[in-house]
Amino acid sequence: MNELELIRHFFARQPVSRADVAAGIGDDCALLRPPAGQSLAVTSDLLVSGVHFLPDADPVSLGHKALAVNLSDLAAMGAEPAWFLLNLVLPEADAPWLERFCRGMFDLARQYDVQLVGGDTSRGPLTIGIEAHGFVPEGAALRRSGARVGDRVYVTGTLGDAAVALLHRLGKERLSEADFAALVERLDWPVPRVREGMALRGIATGAIDISDGLLADLGHVLEMSRVGARIFLDKIPLSPICREHVGKSGWEAALAMGDDYELCFTVPTKNTGALEKLQFACGLHCIGEIEAEPSLRIVDESGKPYHPTFTGHDHFAGK
């Protein structure tokens, strides 16, 4: 099977067909028709085997996650997903692997009506590049720079579950089979908070998705907004299994390891009523407040300042 046949076989049969795609896979470029009066939100990610995922990762969940992390970036802007491109470098034209990878990716694409419109395939060490596009009405995007003093700080879902599952997988935590099964879903099958992000338009001021850990990502919001924040450890939403881990091993998994793909956002008090009406199925918790004093202050259960020894993911730290 040559490259073109391979691409055609697996990628041309993608499940979504949108009216705003004038030309999808098969030309030098995709030709797309963005809607009038909306901004185009664009994000991209590059995942390298052995760096961003384990070489023996299940291709079904890998296909899901590679797309999910990009949809999560769109969600953090309040954007509605529309199109994506895929660049795949593969050690060999492995049809069963591709079939499984596509299944994971396209099942998620179908859920969010997002169409694969282009990309390329070549031979080399396994590498996945995805670029995702979405729309958001002009002026309605949730920006990292939007947080204002007095806003409440919220997170969706629970934090730390993916990190604890990863620690177990790496042999650094010991979970029961049932507990691991419960948490590993969060690691391998993150659910991008797309509907939640769109619902937050006009309600939230600043927003980000938590990929590098709450401290690092909320830190970006504070820096871009030129504000600080106070957050309360006892308000951080944790699953029972993660709470047990935190009790034994401390807060690093929940605050700094990342891979949560929850939204962290700020809401002025005048909008908290509108926020509460949204009733997110994934859950929603107020964890603190934006303050004028720069940087982040963490307060523990007894009201005392808490100083983490870790601060978050930095791909080049220490160099």
Q: Is 59 exposed, middle or buried (0-12, 13-18, 19+ CB in 10 A)?
A: buried
Q: Determine, following the binding rule CB under 8 A, whether residue 41 of this chain makes contact with its own copies.
A: yes
- Of residues 222 through 261, those in contact with its own copies by CB under 8 A are 224
Provide the minimum distance between the beta carbon of 281 and its own copies in the complex, in angstroms, as a whole number. 22
The separation between the first and the last C-alpha atoms of the chain, rounded to the nearest angstrom, is 44
Q: Would you say 53 or 232 has its CB closer to its own copies?
A: 53
Q: Determine, following the binding rule CB under 8 A, whether residue 119 of this chain makes contact with its own copies.
A: yes
- Segment near its own copies (CB under 8 A), from 39-47, 247-255, 280-288, 289-297? 39-47
Spatial neighbors of 30 by CB under 8 A, at least 6 apart, are: 21, 23, 24, 83, 85, 117, 118
Q: Determine, following the binding rule CB under 8 A, whether residue 80 of this chain makes contact with its own copies.
A: no
Candidate list 25, 60, 76, 159; residue touching its own copies; CB under 8 A: 76
- Segment near its own copies (CB under 8 A), from 54-62, 132-140, 155-163, 234-242? 132-140
Task: Determine phi and psi for 198, rounding to 5 degrees.
Answer: -65, -40
- Segment near its own copies (CB under 8 A), from 89-97, 157-165, 233-241, 291-299? 89-97
Cα–Cα distance between 236 and 222 in angstroms, integer? Answer: 18
287 contacts 210 by C-beta, under 8 angstroms? no
Q: Determine, following the binding rule CB under 8 A, whether residue 19 of this chain makes contact with its own copies.
A: no
Q: Determine, following the binding rule CB under 8 A, whether residue 57 of this chain makes contact with its own copies.
A: no
Provide the minimum distance between the beta carbon of 271 and its own copies in the complex, in angstroms, as a whole number. 20
- Cα dihedral value 309, 315, 318, 319, nearest 10: -170
Q: Determine, following the binding rule CB under 8 A, whether residue 102 of this chain makes contact with its own copies.
A: no
Task: Determine phi and psi for 185, rounding to 5 degrees.
Answer: -55, -40
